[in-house]
Chains A and B, each alone.
Chain A
Amino acid sequence: MARIEIDEARCKGCGRCVVHCPKGLIEFSTELNERGYRYVIYEGDVEACTGCTMCAVVCPDQGVEVWNHRDKQTFVNTSGLTERMTHYCPGCTHGVIHRITAEVLEELGLLGRTVGIAPVGCSVLAYEYFNIDMFEAAHGRAPAVATGAKRARPECIVFTYQGDGDLASIGGNEILHAANRGEKITVIFINNAIYGMTGGQMAPTTLPGQRTTTSPLGRDVEDTGHPLRVAELLATLATPAYIARGSAHDAKHSITVKKMIKRAFEHQRDGTCFSFVEILSTCPTNWGLSPAESEQWVADEMIPYFPLGVLKEPAAQPAATPQEAQP
């Protein structure tokens, strides 16, 4: 029979797996783990487990591994991440996007020649979590740092991992020009509609009417402008690029995000173009919502304003996609 193993020490008790398990086999423990979180346990009619991996896909903390009914491990924690626990709040999907990015690099065999660039913001410590060579850049400057690194070492895979304050506000110029030059880098852009690390201030992506500590009455677009749709903005550039927007708020969409990130790195690997994946992400702490409510808020409020999909992609190069070229 299929089964999962939960690493209770890694669990932050966000409960995303509890919500997403289609068989209802995961529940909260009555105990706290050594970090003080009410961790989850795999209990009940565990023979009903189909090994669907939904629990692992939504876990932001590398806390679940899965075996199928033939006892083959079907969800393995990626070697692209270190074993260090992240500092992200329970239910924040930064951890999910870290995992997806690292898995893609591992699956494409690129980990050993990748240089990542961490931003300033919640993911400032990304260099502690990605198990690769990493820079930590100044606020908003990651695309310029990436440009320097990639131009100097074109054989490296270079990516930035940036939040919305970093990329869309203070780093607006750097991302615009890196994209316009068609730098052969990959940008992973996390849009959670708020400044997380500094404690919930208004971001360029904050939705109309959204309350933050610096828009306490709700964002007034007459006064502060409208939320920036960065993916759409970059997609207007004449320079060829891969531009996509996904969302990490649930398992299904996270799987699509992985396809997008994979495509982005393939474009860089093949030297095709600049690649940019915007990912809608949850911020339960600063939104003042539970992890489950946060997922719903992404679906109900963010996705209508930030529509998902591939906005732009260069025409397929036959040589670049050998599998598709076969009859």
Chain B
Amino acid sequence: MTKVLMKGNEALGEAAVRAGCVHFFGYPITPQTEVPEYLVKRLPEVGGVFLQAESEVASINMIYGAAGVGVKCLTSSSSPGISLMAEGMSYIAACELPCVIINIMRAGPGLGGILPAQSDYFQATRGHGHGDYQVIVLAPSSVQEAVDLMTLAFELSETYRNPVMVCADGMIGQMMEPVEFDREGRGPPLADNDWALGGADGRERRIVNSLYLTPEDLDAHNRKLKAKYDLIAERERRCDLDAGDEPADLLVVAFGTMARICKSAIDLVRDEGLKVALFRPITLNPFPFSELRAAMDALSERGSVLDVEMSMGQMLYDVRLAAEGSRAIAFYGRAGGVVPSPDDVATQIREALST
């Protein structure tokens, strides 16, 4: 299949259609607005539904309604908008409905800024809304990977009946790169199932509900959800390791855009003879703890870890959990939309290796 040059946000929209999603509900917010602007033109071509909601609160509840009647559906937003979707995500996860949410992260907190950031890692992996629930979080580091992960996102959301977030940043959303789609045209709709609403004619009626007034019933529901999350954690961890010349003396850990910049930085320092490896989580939830630990264990005896993020240190907590104190962990992070350059990171790598 031929490659086409596309902006990240538009490629995400097209990837949704190719994955079989033709129902979009969303609200404009920089830097993700090209997703709805692309889909408003694209979805009518495939008989789909595009609706600009009155708010992110409404968008996610429209998703709740559309997912509940059994269609593949998508919303997209950026950090402050995801905060507003938190309530709805809790309901959708509680009711075990499939949907995909794109978050093109921008800098916070508060209104923050519109430039790229990774400061919603906690929000994505730990808690948007209330209650014991989780969403699967996928973090692309290129436009092509964003496209590939959209396909995976719809597959995972359907397999596990769970929301999946594609968590990119303003850099991925805004840049243009050549991409290749793995299929022509619109993908398949959601498979027949025994849970979607649509009228009880000829069958038992169905209820999409997250209210359990009996504590034992709610406890059982939470245990069922936890078992699912455990299964996802067991099966769906994804990551990318560039081990370099083993054993490396430093393991750089980064995701998304930051991982890509770290790769360039590592190419620079490897030319200087430094032995540096790069570990890139692709699933932020489930986090690839065991794979990261194995990469740490493969370091040289005094080898250490450098975690690099476009935040004040959020994935850092998971990196520490993976290390369990076995390795020294340094951190380099910039916020506010400042994107470190490969030279900035190379400087940090040299410093980490000299201490």
Q: Do A and B form a real pair?
A: yes
Q: Does A7 contact B (CB under 8 A)?
A: no
Q: Does B88 contact A (CB under 8 A)?
A: yes
Q: Is the CB of B62 within 8 A of A133?
A: no
Q: Is the CB of A114 within 8 A of B57?
A: no
Q: Does B239 contact A (CB under 8 A)?
A: no
Q: Is the CB of B66 within 8 A of A149?
A: yes
Count class of interface residues, chain B:
35 or more
Q: Which of B61, B200, B201 contacts A144 (CB 8 A)?
A: B61
Are A145 and B54 also in contact (CB < 8 A) when A135-B208, A152-B23 are?
A: no
Are A132 and B200 also in contact (CB < 8 A) when A148-B64, A151-B51 are?
A: yes
Q: Is the CB of B205 within 8 A of A144?
A: no
Q: Is the CB of A153 within 8 A of B87?
A: no
Q: Does A69 contact B (CB under 8 A)?
A: no
Count class of interface residues, chain A:
20 to 34
Q: Which residues of A contact B292 (CB under 8 A)?
A: none
Q: Does B25 contact A (CB under 8 A)?
A: yes
CA–CA, A141 and B68, complex, Å: 14
Q: Is the CB of B210 within 8 A of A136?
A: yes
Residue of B nearest to A174 (CB): B58
Q: Is the CB of A112 within 8 A of B202?
A: yes
CA–CA, A148 and B66, complex, Å: 4
A175-190 residues with Cβ-Cβ distance < 8 A to B are: 176-177
Main secondary structure of the interface of B (DSSP, over half): mixed
Q: Which residues of B contact A134 (CB under 8 A)?
A: 197, 205-209
A107-154 residues with Cβ-Cβ distance < 8 A to B are: 111-115, 117, 124-125, 127, 131-138, 141, 144-153
Q: Is the CB of B198 within 8 A of A115?
A: yes
CA–CA, A133 and B207, complex, Å: 6
Q: Which of B55, B87, B198 has the most CB of A within 10 A?
A: B198
Q: Which of A137, A141, A152 has the most CB of B within 10 A?
A: A152
Q: Does A156 contact B (CB under 8 A)?
A: yes
Q: Does B71 contact A (CB under 8 A)?
A: yes
Q: Does A173 contact B (CB under 8 A)?
A: yes
Q: Which residues of B contact A137 (CB under 8 A)?
A: 61, 64, 91
Q: Is the CB of B207 within 8 A of A141?
A: no
Q: Which of A132, A149, A156 has the most CB of B within 10 A?
A: A149
Residue of B nearest to A142 (CB): B61
Q: Which residues of A contact B202 (CB under 8 A)?
A: 112
Residue of A nearest to B23 (CB): A152
Q: Is the CB of B61 within 8 A of A138?
A: yes
Q: Which residues of B contact A150 (CB under 8 A)?
A: 65
- A–B Cβ pairs within 8 angstroms, 6 of them: A112-B201, A133-B197, A135-B65, A136-B210, A138-B64, A151-B23
A-B interface, 7 closest residue pairs, ranked by CB to CB distance from nearest: A148-B65, A112-B201, A148-B62, A113-B199, A144-B61, A149-B65, A177-B54
B-binding residues in A (CB < 8 A): 111-115, 117, 124-125, 127, 131-138, 141, 144-153, 156-157, 173-174, 176-177
